[in-house]
Amino acid sequence: MRARTGKPIPWKAALAVAGLFALPAATLAAFAAASAQAPGAPGTGRLLHLGAMITAAYAGVLALHGVLADRRLRAQARELVDLRARERDLLHRLRDQRVRIDFLSAAREVSLILNQDVDFRTILGKVLGITSDLLGGKGTEEITLYLRAPENGHLVPRARRRETEVCFDLDPAETAPRIAASAFEHGRLIAAAGATALEAAVPLVADRELFGVLFARTSFDGDGEENAERARALTAHLEEFAKVVALAIKTPDLYTRAVEDALTKLSTKRHFHSQLELHTGLARRHGDPLSLIMVDIDHFKRINDTYGHLTGDRILRGVAEVIQQNLRRTDEAAYSAYRYGGEEMSVILPKTGMERAAEVAERLRKQIEARVFEGAGGESIRVTASLGVATLAPEMATLDDLVAAADAALYAAKEGGRNQVRRAGAPGSAPRVRVADGPAVPATRRVKARTVR
């Protein structure tokens, strides 16, 4: 004999249950048999009545036993429900602890990576890889780092990991997902979890400055309830992990090594080459114009020899500041400035043809000439600059051709008397150049300020 649970019932218990049901029936049958044998005997009715009473008593006992058994079953069912609830709670806590341990381990890994003497891209690639592992590590995750552009405050994609590949120098015109833009606008984590996928965007904040968003997308295997628990556990710890990532990105030395020249605060030459390559590819793909301006401070060696290198550094910083302040940036075309080397600087102008680029260069020249710089000894100093402009042409096989054309125009401006803008001639005819919109006008000496020429 087996119970409903499928387990065998002990034979003593089975015998007791059978006896409980068989005893009243046997008693009543015995009384009925006695009455049949002596139907008219005295006391026969009493025997039958007594048998009926005994049977009724047994029936009451059976009913009471059933009620008690039902209560026990209900109590056991409640205990079972409680045990299952406790089991779910323990599993929930265990899952949370495992996720927390994973996040703490990942944060430690990020901290260790920052102490390694490697470049920014390597560090950032490893950070994105660690984030991918946190989300499941199946190779289907997508993690994108968006940073706020200082010139217009828009989110610009800086790096992305997708299917184990990390890409840098993404299209700056790419629009951030709505969830990322919303997280940046409101300064808080926003997550959207479905039955099989999770999207989350968490703000990057360091030193009370909101400067970017970490956007993550991943898919799940398993049933809906399990996926929901996984998504909840991940989003619960993403904000803490994002703080570690934010500190890593905002580490001054790390950021300086990545894109910023320490003296001028312009982007580095290395970043210039990567951005020029990016914009050249975009220009050729979409058929847009692309121009380049090379800027060189006139007689910079004389400044150093006359006033000293501390003043020379001040002049470099001041000219870089003038360039940054006078670059117009719109949604359509974001210009960017770089320190190319020494006293030479460069400006990349996407979606900009020769005429417009020459106008920008002339505006920069005039602003540099008009600025009064203060030397290390308190001197008031004016300087001038020569500028060369070139525009990408189909005949240019490499990026070096565009840089060479702008350089040739720059040196033609110097040979032509300095403090002027020159445009590069047709490809293949360098160093042939022509003056932009009229002859160069020499700068005049200003009162109370010495002009270095």
**300 & 224 share domain:** no
Residue-level pLDDT at 388: 97
**301 & 164 share domain:** no
**423 & 315 share domain:** yes
Which regions of the chain are under pLDDT 70?
1-65, 92-120, 137-139, 150-151, 169, 222-224, 227, 251-258, 328-333, 426-453
**292 & 244 share domain:** no
Pairing status of strand 380-383 against strand 450-452: parallel
Both tokens of 203, joined, read 């703000």
- Residues 6 or more apart in contact with residue 347 via CB below 8 angstroms: 292, 293, 295, 323, 327, 335, 336, 337, 338, 360, 361, 364
Residue 219 pairs with which residues in a beta bridge?
A: 197
Spatial separation of the C-alpha atoms in residues 311 and 307, rounded to whole Å: 6
**421 & 290 share domain:** yes
Residue ending a domain, choose from 192, 224, 257: 257
> Does 43 fall in a domain?
no
CATH code, domain carrying 172? 3.30.450.40
Spatial separation of the C-alpha atoms in residues 246 and 234, rounded to whole Å: 18
CA 221 to chain centroid, in Å, comes to 23
Contact by Cβ (8 Å): 387, 421: yes
**253 & 266 share domain:** no
Cis amide linkage into residue 431, ω under 30° from 0: yes
Residue-level pLDDT at 443: 34
Spatial separation of the C-alpha atoms in residues 426 and 87, rounded to whole Å: 78
AA identity, residue 345: M
- Residues 6 or more apart in contact with residue 397 via CB below 8 angstroms: none
**207 & 355 share domain:** no
**288 & 250 share domain:** no
Residue-level pLDDT at 430: 44
> Does 111 fall in a domain?
no
Q: How many domains does the chain have?
A: 2
Residue-level pLDDT at 167: 85
Residue ending a domain, choose from 234, 257, 280: 257
DSSP letter at 147 equals E
**266 & 249 share domain:** no
Which of 141, 199, 229, 343 is catalytic? The answer is 343
Residue ending a domain, choose from 232, 257, 282: 257
Spatial separation of the C-alpha atoms in residues 202 and 191, rounded to whole Å: 8
Phi and psi angles of residue 386, each rounded to the nearest 5 degrees, phi first: -105, 140
Enclosing domain of residue 197 = 116-257
> Does 1 fall in a domain?
no
Contact by Cβ (8 Å): 134, 102: yes
Q: Tell me, yes or no, if 415 is annotated catalytic.
A: no
CA angle in degrees (0–180, nearest 5) for 355-403-430: 75
pLDDT tens for residues 261-319? Answer: 878 888 888 889 988 988 898 899 899 999 999 999 999 999 999 999 999 999 999 99
**174 & 200 share domain:** yes
**377 & 392 share domain:** yes
